[in-house]
Chain A
Amino acid sequence: MKDVEMKMLERAKALLGSGEVARVIGWKKGEFYFDPVPASFESVEELSDFVYNGFCGANLSKYLIQMSKKEGKTAIFLKPCDSYSFNQLVKEHRIVRENIHVIAIECQGKLDIEKIKAQGVSAVTEVEEDGDTVKVSSLYGETTLNKEDILLVKCATCKSKTHQAKDEEIVLHEMPESKNNRFDEVEKLEAMTETERFAFWKLQLQKCIRCNACRNVCPACSCIKCVFDNPASGIAAKANDSEFEEKLFHIIRAFHVAGRCTDCGECSRVCPQNIPLHLLNRKFIKDIDGLYGEYQAGETAEGKTPLTSYTEGDKEPNDVVDGEAK
């Protein structure tokens, strides 16, 4: 990963130095090794803080909504999953493609600091990835962990390691595809009884503190006026005070991104309450695949979308359960 970081830094310096781009969107060092933060670098000097490591899980594409409208070109580093969000944003006319220079970068799966902590390792100072294992250094010594056990949920079930958009590429090693099926967990829920499912979601959703992080981070949630900011919605940006509101927020949020959600995994990653929001989004993706044909949002920046098209022979809502007519 170090060599990839070096190469990225080199390119960022060249692009900024030559004036080819006015800014580079990447990650800069945070308080700790494990919390790099998204940043816009506007000069070679600012790049002294530049970083790319196993904790750069954040999807940078949403920043382009503002950045691509600024004066001058914007270069951005996109991992394979981020490139889907990028295409989706282009498709929805939220970003200005001509003003952007996409650098497709290598990703070997990003790590979840909470999972590392759960393995009893705290105060992480550095990690070194080596195939299926990760050497974690902390203030208290060194441990070797199984990579599979400490990946972010989105990375454990990564849908593809192929960039869907790029102007140039920094990929120095092979990127193996994930062997896991991202719909396994959804299927488990579908197989439960109605009562069990209700109990499952009740338990999960009552943890929600309505911090709105899942909405704010989501590249598909880019409405200028969000329904949840409307004071008349009865659920405007405030803590849920009834079980109904918990469900209303989550059903509507997931529905609004149905057919547009690229399954980038950001919502689940940022949720401070560890609510498995991906299981809501993936349900819609799975049902859409089953009812209207396989569709992956963000695969291209053009074309029809499942909820803005129809066929005369579509199934009737009363008959549909889990993506099939019963």
Chain B
Amino acid sequence: MQEVTTEKKEFVPNIVAFCCNWCSYAGADLAGSSRLSYPANVKIIRVPCSCRVNPSFILKAYQQGADGVILCGCHPGDCHYVTGNYYARRRMSLLFSFLNYMGIEKERTRVEWVSAAEGQRFSAVMNDFVKTVTALGENRKLTDLRVKEGE
């Protein structure tokens, strides 16, 4: 009998971050130019406004192999389009509660408000989120097996 060795690779989560063009994306830029680090496994997708993100974007990200999805926008009251993030906030509240209702880990999806001046905060938020998702482990409940490698 051949011995089976299960060599565990360290789990590095795939994170998708939807960042609004006016605040959070600029915040990420500032983090970069200030040489603040955030994990390389955070993949940023720039959107015009946090309210541009509809629930299927988030689900699609999971389908394509994300282990965590974070949505970043301007702080409430600071939206470039005045009210976009207020609508996003309601939608995401309902979506998060709904995902939890379907038995999907709530902590995998998150909303954070990050302004263009908050490079520091951007880096802290991302580091913290990566830590949370790493602790949760791989996304298995909202995944499409056809998209996963090696399964």
Contact = CB atoms under 8 A, between A and B. Distances in A.
Interface of A: 189-190, 194-202, 227, 233-234, 242-245, 247-248, 251-252, 254-255, 258, 280, 283-284, 287-288, 291-292, 306-308, 310, 312, 314-318, 320-323
Interface stretch (B2-10, B15-23, B32-40, B95-103): B95-103
A322 B97 CA distance: 6
Contacts of A242: 144-146
Given A248-B63, A312-B86, A314-B86, A198 B97 contact: no
Given A201-B103, A242-B146, A310-B86, 17 more contacts: A197-B101, A197-B103, A227-B56, A244-B144, A251-B59, A251-B99, A252-B56, A255-B95, A284-B94, A287-B93, A287-B97, A307-B94, A314-B90, A315-B93, A316-B93, A317-B93, A317-B111
Contacts of A254: 98
Interface of B: 55-56, 59-60, 62-63, 76-77, 83, 86-87, 89-106, 110-112, 141-146
A199 B104 CA distance: 10
A255 B55 contact: yes
B97 A323 contact: yes
A196 B102 CA distance: 9
Contacts of B106: 321
Given A244-B144, A247-B142, A308-B87, A318 B96 contact: yes
Contact of A194 (B59, B98, B103, B112): B103
B102 A197 contact: yes
A254 B76 CA distance: 27
A244 B93 contact: no
A321 B97 contact: yes
Contacts of B62: 244
